[in-house]
């Protein structure tokens, strides 16, 4: 039901209602479906994710609408910042209290695609999310064990396994198929990991967010525990007190900052307000009063 609502919502993007010509480039061109009111922050985190995942498309709408040389320079500044911090997926990874962050790019295989729901758009199946989540977690675990070698280069007798695996797809999930001039292309995914230590067991908690590489569309989330064990004797779990030491040995990357994220999202919203938000007001009001059961019908009009 969530996926059906998302697909039905896409044709109602305010930019496509204000500039009908842009519909000719869908689905490859997909500005976000909800606008941010001028001068306000989004009330929920998901709206921020929507803004950032469609960043390049939304800037394209501003260019299409017509703008000044000064504003074009501002668009250039936003693009340079987005590229400098790693693109939309990295910008969306911003968290203000997480010091342990890692990412891996993973290929999407044929069997990862959910064949029961719009397979041409490439939605990931639940089995695919579990598989990709475990692959990302095991990459981190293997690097961590390698980082624990002693002065002689010997790895400790330590192994790990996953527990408590849960998946989330959410309201704004997208597929991994990207439409290009040469036909559809299946994109790899970028796994963005936020890692904290377990309190009562030796291990870590991982929240793994998956986005399509390049376009930065959100495709799902996996949360799991990665527990560490001794490979000697009865393979008993390690003492919980070692969780912090293991976390400290784990690989990590520098996280995109709140300042970076605000520069991009606020810069985009201000430009939209100045260039074409007023023309979208009527369409936006209609969008906000739509009921889900009427959405598909209106999307075909």
What integer is the mean pLDDT of 263-269?
78
Query: Domain range for residue 225?
Result: 98-249
pLDDT above 80: residue 237: yes
Q: Residue 50's pLDDT is what?
A: 55
**Among 38-52, 127-141, 186-200, the least confident range:** 38-52
The confidence band for 205, taking pLDDT boundaries of 50, 70 and 90, is very high
pLDDT above 70: residue 297: no
**Residue-wise pLDDT tens digits, 62-88:** 999 888 899 999 999 888 888 887 777
pLDDT above 80: residue 298: no
- What's the pTM value of the predicted model, to 2 decimals? 0.63
> Does 115 or 253 have the greater pLDDT score?
115
- 289 and 218 within one domain: no
Rounded distance, CA 92 to CA 262, Å?
A: 11
**Tokens representing residue 29 in the block:** 């061109």
- 142 and 239 within one domain: yes
- 190 and 131 within one domain: yes
- 219 and 139 within one domain: yes
Q: Residue 188's pLDDT is what?
A: 93
How many domains does the structure of the chain reveal? 2
The confidence band for 281, taking pLDDT boundaries of 50, 70 and 90, is low
Please give the share of the chain, as a percent, with pLDDT higher than 70.
75
Give the side-chain half-sphere CA count within 13 A for 295.
19
Given 208, 228, 249, the domain boundary residue is: 249
pLDDT above 90: residue 44: no
> Does 269 or 238 have the greater pLDDT score?
238
**Among 107-121, 183-197, 281-295, the least confident range:** 281-295
Q: Residue 92's pLDDT is what?
A: 64
pLDDT above 60: residue 22: yes
- 132 and 108 within one domain: yes
- 223 and 107 within one domain: yes
- 114 and 223 within one domain: yes
Q: Residue 85's pLDDT is what?
A: 75
**Residue-wise pLDDT tens digits, 130-159:** 999 999 999 999 999 999 888 888 888 899
- 263 and 220 within one domain: no
- 188 and 68 within one domain: no
**Torsion sign (Cα): 189, 195, 200, 203:** positive
- 225 and 112 within one domain: yes
Looking up residue 110, the CATH number of its domain turns out to be 3.10.129.10
- 237 and 121 within one domain: yes
- 111 and 49 within one domain: no
């Amino acid at each position: 039901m969530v996926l059906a609502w998302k697909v039905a919502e896409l044709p109602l993007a305010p930019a496509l209602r204000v500039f009908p010509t842009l519909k000719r480039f869908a689905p490859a061109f997909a500005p976000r479906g909800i606008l941010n009111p001028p001068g306000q922050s989004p009330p929920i985190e998901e709206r921020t994710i929507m803004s950032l995942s469609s960043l390049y498309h939304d800037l394209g709408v501003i260019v299409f609408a017509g703008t000044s040389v000064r504003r074009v320079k501002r668009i250039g500044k936003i693009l340079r910042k987005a590229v400098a911090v790693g693109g939309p997926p990295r910008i969306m990874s911003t968290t203000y209290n997480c010091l342990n962050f890692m990412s891996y790019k993973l290929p999407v295989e044929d069997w990862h695609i959910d064949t029961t729901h719009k397979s041409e758009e490439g939605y990931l199946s639940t089995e695919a999310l579990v598989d990709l989540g475990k692959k990302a977690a095991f990459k981190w675990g293997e690097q961590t064990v390698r980082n624990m070698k002693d002065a002689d280069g010997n790895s400790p007798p330590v192994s790990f396994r996953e527990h408590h695996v849960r998946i989330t797809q959410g309201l704004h999930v997208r597929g991994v198929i990207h439409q290009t001039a040469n036909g559809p292309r299946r994109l790899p995914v970028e796994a963005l990991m936020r890692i904290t230590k377990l309190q009562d067991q030796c291990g870590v908690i991982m929240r793994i967010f998956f986005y399509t590489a390049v376009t930065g569309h959100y495709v799902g989330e996996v949360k799991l525990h990665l527990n560490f064990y001794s490979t000697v004797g009865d393979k008993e779990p390690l003492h919980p007190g070692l969780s912090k030491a293991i976390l400290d040995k784990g690989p990590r990357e520098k996280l995109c900052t709140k300042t970076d994220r605000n520069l991009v999202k606020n810069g985009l919203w201000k430009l939209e307000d100045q260039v074409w938000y007023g023309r979208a007001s009527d369409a936006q009001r209609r969008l906000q009063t739509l009921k889900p059961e009427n959405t598909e019908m209106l999307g075909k009009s």
